[in-house]
Amino acid sequence: MDENNIQIFEDKKIRTAWNETEEEWYFSVVDVIEVLTDSNEPRRYWSDLKRKLKKEGASSQLYEKFVQLKMKSHKDGKSYKTDVANTEQLLRIIQSIPSPKAEPFKMWLAEVGRERIEETIDPELTVERALETYLKKGYSREWINQRLQAIQVRKELTDERDTHGVKQGVEYAILTDEITKAWSGMTTRQYKNLKGLKKENLRDNMSTLELVLNMLAEATTTEISKEQNPQTFAENRSVAREGGEVAGNARKDIEERTGRPVITSKNATVFSNLISDMIESDYSESNNK
């Protein structure tokens, strides 16, 4: 776990910790309860809530996955063990808190659930919503088109892996690392660290050129897999490395011809600001003509 971080919500502090291995934020439960309920005794509130949920037969998995971390007290600055919850657990807890401040979270959960059902019935809605989300975040349409294409390329690679018995989870992560390292020279985590990312999606923080090379690596891996028909995880790993190397050679050629590195530390925030600056500049120029 990284050192404790403080998140501010409505002028109140919420202690958090980042687990780099799991790529997961953990939140102090009592801090969240204090924010949502304005209780003067959030620890007692949490203790009572746990007993109530257990009595009502709430899923035992909710409690089995709870961990305690040492966090600095707001009062005396000393570190004490406290219950923490990841995002999924926290949302389940919030659903059990009768607080006006919890309602936006509950409404959001209901909306997400409704959209997921609609997308299952009509998969095209997934693409439409992705397009709308990226536009709201400030991405250019050119970048969005590449990103949506990258999603399709990734889906084709996933389908190919499934036919060869690759297990989702750890094995997928290892193969992704092989591809990423072969074309970029870095593991996925090193690449994220370069861009200052934690849980954010790496592809959402790539430049157009980075995205294209990553697509080339994955598309090539898919084609090589179809030709070589790998039967073991070791063979799939070798295929992933080969596919990544094709894009890696392309990256080196581009860098040699342009004299500039392809890999950039810029992330989505920087890209969004650059796009906004360009739009404002074009608007100002058109008004001054």
The tens digit of pLDDT for each residue in 81-102 reads: 889 988 778 888 888 888 787 7
DSSP state of 127: H
Quote the Cα angle for 20-208-269, to 5°.
50
Cα separations in angstroms, 3 against 6, 65, 169, 191: 10, 21, 26, 21
Q: Is 207 helix (H, G, I), strand (E, B) or coil?
A: coil
Q: Are residues 177 and 101 in the same domain?
A: no
Which has the closest alpha carbon to 177: 195, 190, 194, 161? 190
The reply to whether 119 falls in a domain is no
Q: Are residues 166 and 259 in the same domain?
A: yes
Run of H or E residues at 268:
helix 268-288
Beta-strand pair 24-28/12-19: antiparallel
The secondary structure of the chain in percent helix, strand, coil, rounded to multiples of 5, reads 65, 10, 25
Q: Are residues 209 and 259 in the same domain?
A: yes
Q: Are residues 156 and 253 in the same domain?
A: yes
Q: Are residues 168 and 135 in the same domain?
A: yes
Q: Are residues 72 and 16 in the same domain?
A: yes
Q: Are residues 268 and 163 in the same domain?
A: yes
Q: Are residues 268 and 138 in the same domain?
A: yes
210-239 residue pLDDT tens: 999 999 999 999 999 999 999 999 999 999
- Given pLDDT bands bounded at 50, 70 and 90, which one contains residue 272? low
Q: Are residues 158 and 209 in the same domain?
A: yes
pTM of the model: 0.60
Please state the domain count of the chain: 2
Range list of β-strands (E), the chain: 5-9, 12-19, 24-28, 67-72, 79-85
Q: Are residues 39 and 137 in the same domain?
A: no
Residues paired with residue 69 on neighbouring β-strands, in sequence order = 82
- Single residue among 79, 110, 141 that ends a domain in this structure: 110
Task: Rank 10-14, 255-259, 276-280 by mean pLDDT and report only the highest.
Answer: 255-259
Contact 231, 164 (CB under 8 A): yes
The reply to whether 233 falls in a domain is yes
The reply to whether 223 falls in a domain is yes
The reply to whether 187 falls in a domain is yes
Q: Are residues 69 and 183 in the same domain?
A: no
CA–CA gap between residue 285 and residue 289 (Å, rounded): 6
The reply to whether 115 falls in a domain is no
Q: What is the mean pLDDT of the chain?
A: 81
Rounded mean pLDDT of 186-204? Answer: 90
Among 117-121, 154-158, 222-226, the range scoring the smallest mean pLDDT is: 117-121
Residue 185 lies in domain: 124-288
The reply to whether 117 falls in a domain is no
Q: Are residues 47 and 190 in the same domain?
A: no
- Single residue among 66, 83, 110 that ends a domain in this structure: 110
